[in-house]
Structure 1
Amino acid sequence: MTGGYALIVRFIIRDADAAEAFDALVVRTLEGIRKEPGTLVYVNHIPEGEPLVRVFYELYSDEAAFQAHERQPHTGEMLREREQYLASTEVTFLGEQAGKRPTPQEASA
């Protein structure tokens, strides 16, 4: 497989209490995401020195897999519930040039 469909989402969270609740929401949501066959990578990061920022890196097998992810009930719940915790959201869609990523077999393991 080449290409894929990737994005980075940067969330600024309102405060420490909201960060704790947001992180719990992400953990619950990941239970469903782990079962999505076309979601190859879905990782939440906290940038060093920025405790109220979360950066998600998402890699899907293709745009259809991303659209399927967006239609999942667990994704819809996260999209609705996250807003109460956030000050802002920035989404960047990425066009792949070159790189290394998990094979489909590794991604499903």
Structure 2
Amino acid sequence: MSTTAASYTLLVRFRVRTGAQAAFDALTARTVDLIRKHEPGTLLYAIHTTGVPTERIFYELYEDQEAFAFHERQPHIQEFLAARGALLQALPEVTVLTPTAISRRTAQTSKGDRC
């Protein structure tokens, strides 16, 4: 995975309705599985929880803006976008990230560094 200036990265904050967390998490799990299977230009799509029970943070890394555009056109993403509305308190907050410095380890490098 090469992350260069051409890569396209998003940080998306979701505020889920109280009581809808399990449904939102199930929806995202199904969607992430389809992203993994059908989107070679999506390099990383990670969903995180925080100390706030109704908050979810998505970290999305795409090969480039074309890979992001491809992602947005996929049927599973269109289904996610349509279904998520009823589960959210508000519209998601989207931040486009621009790398200024990158340090990256591969799984092989990380294993070799351990004592």
TM-score greater than 0.5 by the shorter chain = yes
What's the RMSD between the two structures over aligned residues? 1.4
TM-score normalized with structure 1 length: 0.87
Which of 50, 53, 60 is 2:52 aligned to?
50
The residue aligned with 1:20 is 22
Number of residue-to-residue matches in the alignment: 101
Using a 3 Å threshold, how does the CA distance of structure 1 residues 85 and 102 change in structure 2: closer, same or farther? farther
Alpha-carbon distance, 1:46 to partner: 0.3
Structure 2 residue runs of 5 or longer lacking an equivalent are 107-115
Deviation at 1:100, TM superposition (A): 3.2
**C-alpha offsets along residues 26-85 of structure 1, whole Å, 9 cap, x if unaligned?**
0111121002110001000001x2110000000000000000000000000000100100
Q: Is the 8 A contact 1:40 1:102 kept in 2?
A: no
More strand by share: 1
Q: In structure 2, what is the Cα distance between the partners aligned to 1:37 and 1:24? A: 22
Q: Which moved more, 1:92-101 or 1:58-67?
A: 92-101
Query: What is residue 8 of structure 1 aligned with on the other side?
Result: 11
State the structure with more CA Rg. Answer: 2
Unaligned runs of 5+ in 1: 104-109
SS in 2 for 1:76: helix
TM-score by length of 2: 0.82
The share of aligned pairs that are identical, in percent, is 52
Q: Runs of 4 or more off by more than 4 Å in structure 1?
A: none
The correspondence for 1:74, drawn from 65, 76, 80, is 76
Question: How far apart, CA to CA, are the structure 1 residues paired with 2:12 and 2:81?
Answer: 12
